[in-house]
DNA sequence: CGCGGGCTTTACATCGCTGTAAAGCCCGCG
DNA sequence: CGCGGGCTTTACAGCGATGTAAAGCCCGCG
């Protein structure tokens, strides 16, 4: 049984409250008392009990990060950065994979956040984020991704539409004529996919191209296998494209694999652009041109916003000052690499 | 404020203990009482407070998973599988990145596990695992990786030496003569690297080859960039190898990138084998021959072993029955792909 | 009708910690 | 010497849940 305040108090010959005061940095503690208590703490190796603190009504120092799948490199990188950002505030991050399943997203919500968690950073996929708020109206939440829902949460996201347009424009400017898109998704929840599609459309129209529905390939999920399959379908159905904008890097890498398997040159025959700038794309063959969102910025901002909400005691009252929830856009840029420029051009950089 | 037992009790017209009994499935509760309580629970949306349960001395239902870096695909995949395995037991997994830094590994140990965590699955990198046990002797722990330390913990690992030997043998059997290794590491903590190196050596000697120290390239970390740099050094220094065994897939992918950049054909000029079988290697160009450990098995076994320890009340007494800690080896196999067989051979499969 | 005994239900203390309120202490000033 | 007031320290309650022990209740049997 680990030592508690009581043990420390006995050892130092003071009351438990005094020990508590020392632990929490209360100002009016006599210097010698403080020293004695700290000595006892060190000797016994006392550590505050998180559960008790939490129960008492305070903070647990644990925030949750809910995201669809750690196996996607982008989410892994994002998680990694959020953990780092949280570390600076001495927060521990509880990572939970929702698998994109709505039931799991909801369950997670109810079970943990309610009591154990000070706040939540949530990267929803399947779930209309609104559902989550119903369960736990009091837990501060930051949503990553497009603002699909106007509830009480801050949002941090890249401008998907603009970014997708930039990527598509890059292909246009390279003189590509038949530019395909991989990653279209239906349904009210696939907001990111739809905005990337909208950006793709907008850029094409801006360049005076018509949007050919045959060049828009759906993808059930955003993994390599989906990209590979979608690319296969594009190649099988009529005239092949000479460029593809994939809605994330994994789709792009899968697509490239199919292209090379079938004897197409990348970017000679087909140029490929991805989205996310995962590390893999910097080492793949060819290296992958991609849209690089400021993921570090997303992580930092998400943690900062959460910290602000936690600092505000709580809104509480009723209808008085309705809290304003911010929507923050982070930067993005297109990073040209071999999959659109070819080897020499990319190396020259 | 979320409802507690008290609220449910009032609503159902019973005592809080009865509600508690219903929640915990205590047998001797009258059917109608049970129904009434369950009704109240449903109406109020009651959820047990994890912190209070934990405080009371019970379990929190949270286990920690400590690993070096989520950005490495292997760890991400491992984490993902452990989360899934834990889910079946209704456990929540708190993932913490140690970054391989010993101080962080130790800090994590003290701060959380002591109170909030029922058990720990630990994949140590920098830290001699023994240090961790000093802090928290009571928390059940399962270590992933080679048994570097004979303390109170179960171990689950692949047989690194045998697996590395198999990989090297695969290259020998393809007729390669100058087989290099990338990923050597010094120091008492780099146990995996050393065992993989030992397996490499053993296989070469078994095939009557001499081990050329010039063909053994160290790597500070196991990322793509390290593999790329190490490959560069191998190529720069004298006669290039005609095969490379890399101690993980990321090193291998980095090495391949360097080879292709410099105009070497893979596997034509140099065959490459990795270790881990991350998904990326199934889609890279060329696809990557690799050692595939039974990662799903590792995840499942780790959770099972932890569960067993948690079921045993506690060892407690003293010197009586010294608990036996198991060391479990999971399967592995070499998966030949294009980076050693070339395209046609791989496709034929 | 009384009583033992099983089935249900309940009161209470307790886990570790912290907010509140108040008690002790010490000082200087009138 | 007495008292106000600031600095330190303390007692106590209570966060939510559960183990313990005991109290009710109802039954059948003698």
**Per-residue confidence in pLDDT tens, chain B, 349 aa:** 778 999 999 999 999 999 999 998 888 999 999 999 999 999 998 888 888 888 887 777 888 888 888 888 999 999 999 988 988 887 888 887 776 565 555 555 555 556 778 888 988 765 454 455 545 556 788 989 876 666 678 889 999 999 999 999 999 999 999 999 999 998 766 788 999 999 999 999 999 999 999 999 999 989 999 999 999 999 998 899 999 999 999 999 999 999 999 999 999 999 999 999 999 999 998 999 999 999 999 999 999 999 888 876 554 444 344 567 888 999 999 999 999 999 765 444 4
Helix (H) or strand (E) holding B95: strand B92-97
Q: Does B51 lie at the interface with A, CB-CB under 8 angstroms?
A: yes
Q: Quick check: A149 pLDDT over 70?
A: no
Which residues lie near nucleic chain C, judged by CB under 7 A? Answer: A 1, 4-6, 16-17, 20, 23-24, 46-49, 52-53, 55-56, 58; B 14-18, 21, 26-30, 33-34, 52, 55-57
Output A125 or A63, whichever has higher pLDDT. Answer: A63
Are residues A271 and A240 in contact, defined by beta-carbon separation less than 8 angstroms? Answer: no
Query: Tens of pLDDT along A172-219?
Result: 999 999 999 999 998 766 788 999 999 999 999 999 999 999 999 999
Count of residues making up chain B: 349
Query: Tens of pLDDT along A36-59?
Result: 999 999 999 888 888 888 888 777
Residue A319, pLDDT score? 39
Q: Is A78 helix (H, G, I), strand (E, B) or coil?
A: helix
Are residues B68 and B100 in contact, defined by beta-carbon separation less than 8 angstroms? Answer: yes
Q: How distant is C1' of D23 from CA of B50, in Å? A: 30
Q: How distant is C1' of C24 from CA of A310, in Å? A: 37
Which bases of strand D have any atom within 7 Å of the beta carbon of a protein residue?
7-12, 14-20
Chain-centre distance for alpha carbon B282: 20
Q: Which two tokens stand for residue B155?
A: 């171990």
Alpha helices by DSSP H, A102-190:
102-108, 114-116, 130-135, 160-173
Q: How distant is C1' of D18 from CA of B61, in Å? A: 16
CA–CA–CA angle A189, A192, A198 (5° rounding): 110
Domains and CATH numbers, chain A: 5-48 (1.10.260.40), 62-158+295-331 (3.40.50.2300), 160-293+334-348 (3.40.50.2300)
Residue B323, pLDDT score? 63
Size of interface A-B (CB pairs under 8 A): 144
CA distance B195 to B168: 13
Phi, psi of B67 (to 5 degrees): -145, 165
Q: Is B234 helix (H, G, I), strand (E, B) or coil?
A: helix
Alpha helices by DSSP H, chain B:
5-12, 16-23, 31-44, 50-55, 73-88, 102-108, 114-116, 130-135, 160-173, 191-206, 224-236, 249-261, 295-311, 338-341, 343-348
Q: Which two tokens stand for residue A148?
A: 């699909």
Residues of B in contact with A55 (CB under 8 A): 49, 51-52, 55
**Banded model confidence at residue A147, pLDDT cuts 50, 70, 90:** low
CA distance B200 to B211: 9
CA distance A201 to A182: 13
Output A116 or A198, whichever has higher pLDDT. Answer: A198
Cα separation values, A220 from A100, A224, A314, Å: 12, 11, 40
The residue of chain B with its CA nearest to that of A94 is B94
As a whole number of Å, the end-to-end CA separation of chain A is 61
Contacts of A171 (CB under 8 A, 6+ apart): A179, A243, A245, A271, A273, A340
Q: How distant is C1' of C2 from CA of B16, in Å? A: 34
Residues of B in contact with A45 (CB under 8 A): 135
Q: Does A334 lie at the interface with B, CB-CB under 8 angstroms?
A: no
The residue of chain A with its CA nearest to that of B59 is A51
Going by their DSSP bridges, the two strands A179-184 and A243-246 should be labelled as: parallel
Of B71, B93, B94, which has the smallest distance from its Cβ to A77's Cβ? B71
Residues of A in contact with B84 (CB under 8 A): 97
Residues of A in contact with B253 (CB under 8 A): 280, 283-284
CA distance B186 to B40: 62
C-beta atoms of B110 and A77 within 8 A:
no
Residues of B in contact with A76 (CB under 8 A): 70-71, 73, 76
* pTM for this entry: 0.83
Nucleotide nearest to A5 (CA to C1'): C16
Are residues B246 and B275 in contact, defined by beta-carbon separation less than 8 angstroms? Answer: yes
Residues of A in contact with B96 (CB under 8 A): 83, 92-93
Query: Is residue A209 packed enough to be buried (19+ CB in 10 Å), middle (13-18) or exposed (0-12)?
Result: middle
Q: Which of A76, A104, A267 best probes binding to B when mutated, by most B CB atoms within 10 angstroms?
A: A76
Q: Which of A92, A100, A110, A104 is nearest to A75 (CA)?
A: A100
Tokens 């009723």: give the residue.
Answer: A318
Cis (ω within 30 of 0) for the bond into B16?
A: no
**CB of residue B115 closer than 7 A to nucleic acid strand D?**
no
Number of H helices, E strands in chain B: 15, 12
Q: Which two tokens stand for residue A212?
A: 């050919």
C-beta atoms of B55 and A50 within 8 A:
no
Percent of chain A exceeding pLDDT 90 equals 55
Helix (H) or strand (E) holding A311: helix A295-311
């Amino acid at each position: 049984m680990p030592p508690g305040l009581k043990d420390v108090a006995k050892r130092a010959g003071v009351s438990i409250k005094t020990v508590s005061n020392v632990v929490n940095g209360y100002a009016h503690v006599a210097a010698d008392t403080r020293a004695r208590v700290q000595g006892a703490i060190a000797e016994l190796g006392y550590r505050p009990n998180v559960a008790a603190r939490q129960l008492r009504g305070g903070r647990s120092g644990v925030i949750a990060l809910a995201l669809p799948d750690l196996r996607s490199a982008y989410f892994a990188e994002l998680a990694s950065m959020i953990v780092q950002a949280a570390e600076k505030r001495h927060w521990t991050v509880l990572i939970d994979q929702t698998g994109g399943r709505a039931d799991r997203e909801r369950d997670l919500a109810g079970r943990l956040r309610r009591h154990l968690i000070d706040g939540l950073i949530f990267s929803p996929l399947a779930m209309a984020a609104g559902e989550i708020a119903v369960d736990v109206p009091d837990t501060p939440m930051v949503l990553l991704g497009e603002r699909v829902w106007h509830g009480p949460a801050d949002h941090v996201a890249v401008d998907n539409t603009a970014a997708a347009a930039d990527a598509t424009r890059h292909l246009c400017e390279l003189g590509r004529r038949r530019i395909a898109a991989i990653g279209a998704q239906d349904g009210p929840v696939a907001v990111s996919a739809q905005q990337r599609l909208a950006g793709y459309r907008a850029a094409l129209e801006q360049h005076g191209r018509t949007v050919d529905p045959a060049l828009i390939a759906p993808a059930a999920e955003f993994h390599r296998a989906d990209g590979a399959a979608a690319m296969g379908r594009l190649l099988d159905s009529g005239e092949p494209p000479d460029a593809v904008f994939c809605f994330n890097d994994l789709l792009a890498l899968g697509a490239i694999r199919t292209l090379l398997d079938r004897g197409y040159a990348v970017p000679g025959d087909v140029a490929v652009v991805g989205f996310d700038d995962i590390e893999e794309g910097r080492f793949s063959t060819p290296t992958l041109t991609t849209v690089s969102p400021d993921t570090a910025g997303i992580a930092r901002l998400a943690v900062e916003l959460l910290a602000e909400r936690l600092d505000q005691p709580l809104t509480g009252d009723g209808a008085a000052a309705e809290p304003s929830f911010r929507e923050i856009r982070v930067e993005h840029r297109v990073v040209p690499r071999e999959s659109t420029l070819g080897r020499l051009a990319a190396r020259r950089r």
